[in-house]
Structure 1
């Protein structure tokens, strides 16, 4: 009887230990990345790592940034398109370095200190409703857009949409980059204000408005989301600007307090691996970074289409200036002044 009791206790301890081990293999990813777009990549990871339970949470950029500091327990992996905010968190020592072959081989322009990595290469685009060409020539450059906004004000009033730089981290970043590359940026902001452009928090809201006919024209949308949307909504046409096109990268890092750092490293390694990047290039419009993969969505193919006018937002310390409070306040003050200006 005593042996049977001891055996039962031993088996109970084994079961408990096994349950704890299984729970320990759960990997939490907090991401500003639409799960529907990235699903092929997540599915491929789960197939290659059947012993890991992946919990992928799709949130806004601001929610993800807040969770980096406040989540308890911390997430294992953090992904966001708000590049300056990601860099700022890494600079605050929230990232754990990844010492792996994939990390060492990753191009220097797409990483910082082996702590944060840009694993996608997404163009920033314009989108318009198919009705638009019946009334005017759709824009293919930033100059074309400015011309339409200033010559077709009555027809476009309330029909144009773009990001709110106040409510969207990625929107603020894109406008800061626009100001860097075009001397007429503030003229464009004033022109959008003059047609009462509607400011949205995310690309999905802009695309929904175009599909519903509330908007005819959208500016500075994430190309990855827009391309997927257009596949299922033929009324939406996506245009990569031909004068210059910004490129945004999703930045990923392992949280310094990750409950499962080894598994988190395996996940980030997969994003950077040839296998993972091949999925990005062939099955998602997130565009791969690696030059040794082929498919419809690669950085090289995008360069072939746009040429030298493709401007990736660099992953380096210069991003930190974008989250400087004084610089942000000055930029937003001028944005409000120009956007509200009436001619």
Structure 2
């Protein structure tokens, strides 16, 4: 009997242990839209840095690895999150989640809101003061590079001589009786993506009265809407789509380097540059490490790596011309549209303005659906 009781107790202990092993990771498992990459320290760990970033890890890997060459005792944990998740986690910190040391996001408006609402820690250094005044605000948020918002086409689906170089030329192609882009032109849906919403609001400001006709022409050509830029470019690379409107150049260049039959068009009428920004949260567990990494990003060495590997237009203007990775890009061109960091980015975050903007956006793009919804 004693042996039986011991065996039963051991079995119960084993079941309980297995349950703990099973349930423990389930609670700690990151949400499905979070992808975590850990860069182990090269020597015995002496420090730790937690980054929240909206760029996929392939675009920042080289910078992190280079940082660890200088600081081999630092472990870097990179969480790839949507920009909205970065904002929400930082604005509503919870003891259950790992607190970040540095936020890297392409949703400039949400980052500015975090600063304005008191969630950022100020930091002043020779490296961040080397940035142009328009690329820093209140010594709390810093542009570490710019994404050109470009047009991309599949070279097997669209002949180069037909490719539009301006938005006016794009509208002409959309009105072509042959309908070469019908059902084969894609863009991100601003109703599903914070970055897409930010791009759409900035483009609308730049286009002015031409914004409505452009959306209407896209709608008449049955433009496909995508929640994620990656998905759109995947379908463009496979040939399911012929043309993409309003995407980040870095994501397209990644696919071109992998052999995709894609080419980028830097629009000649105006080229929107979206800042990728960094800020140190007020509650960062390792602010000193965050400051060192931020300085590395903004150094001439870091900026060159971000240009060549992350495909960003450098935020600093004192770098040699060979730091540029986009053929035909002229940093002095009058077509560049780069808004200075500041409160102006908060305008479209107002909930009433957001709702009205998206309603009008849908009305232009799908007038028949909007009319049916109002009946």
TM-score normalised by L of structure 1: 0.87
Q: What is the CA deviation profile of residues 146-173 of structure 1, one whole-angstrom value per residue up to 9, with x for unaligned ones?
A: 1112225744222110011111111111
SS of residue in 1 equivalent to 2:123: coil
Greater shift, 278-287 or 302-311, is seen at 302-311
Residue 266 and residue 135 in structure 1: after superposition, are their counterparts in 2 closer, same or farther (change >3 A)?
closer
Q: Which one is further off, 223-232 or 249-258?
A: 223-232
Q: Alignment length, in residue pairs?
A: 322
Query: 2: distance between equivalents of 1:24 and 1:84?
Result: 35
Farther-moved stretch of structure 1 (250-259 vs 70-79): 70-79
Are 1:310 and 2:336 matched, yes or no? yes
CA contact (8 A) 1:127 1:236 kept: yes
Structure 2 residue aligned with 1:280: 306
**Aligned residue runs from structure 1 range 1-343, under 5 A:** 25-69=47-91, 70-71=93-94, 72-134=97-159, 137-152=162-177, 154-182=179-207, 183-294=209-320, 296-298=322-324, 304=330, 307-341=333-367
Give 3-state SS (helix, strand or coil) of 2:49's partner.
Answer: strand
Quote the Cα distance in structure 2 between the aligned partners of 1:128 and 1:342.
28
The alpha-carbon deviation at position 334 of structure 1 amounts to 0.2
Structure 1 gaps of 5+ residues are 1-21
Question: What is the SS of the residue equivalent to 1:28?
Answer: strand
CA-based RMSD of the aligned residues comes to 2.3
Asked if the contact 1:204/1:225 (under 8 Å) is kept, the reply is yes
Question: How far is 1:132 from its partner?
Answer: 3.3
Give the aligned partner of residue 26 of structure 2. Answer: none
Q: For residues 168 and 26 of structure 1, what CA distance do their matches in structure 2 show? A: 31
1:293, CA displacement in angstroms? 2.0
Distance 1:168 1:287 in 2: 23
CA contact (8 A) 2:230 2:251 kept: yes
SS at match of 2:307: helix
Structure 1 stretches of 4+ moved >6 Å: 299-302
Q: CA deviation at 1:91?
A: 0.9
Partner SS state of residue 244, structure 2:
strand
- Measure, in 1, the Cα distance between the counterparts of 2:249 and 2:170: 17
Given that 1:281 and 1:293 are in contact with CA atoms closer than 8 Å, whether structure 2 keeps it comes out as no
Task: Give SS of 1:30's match.
Answer: strand
**Residue aligned with 2:317, SS:** coil
1:179-227 CA-partner distances (Å, limit 9, x unpaired): 1112311111111111221111232111101111211010001011111
Q: Deviations over 1:226-272 (max 9, x none)?
A: 11211223411111111111001101100110001111111111111
Pick the structure with greater CA Rg: 2
Task: Return the alpha-carbon distance in structure 1 between the equivalents of residues 134 and 309 of structure 2.
Answer: 24
Question: Kindly tell me: are residues 248 and 299 of structure 1, through their superposed partners in 2, closer, same or farther at Cα, counting changes over 3 Å?
Answer: farther
1:253-295 CA-to-partner distances (Å, cap 9, x unmatched) read: 0011000111111111111112211222344311212222225
> Which structure's residues are more often helix, by fraction?
1
- Whether the 8 Å CA contact 2:131–2:317 is kept in 1: the answer is no
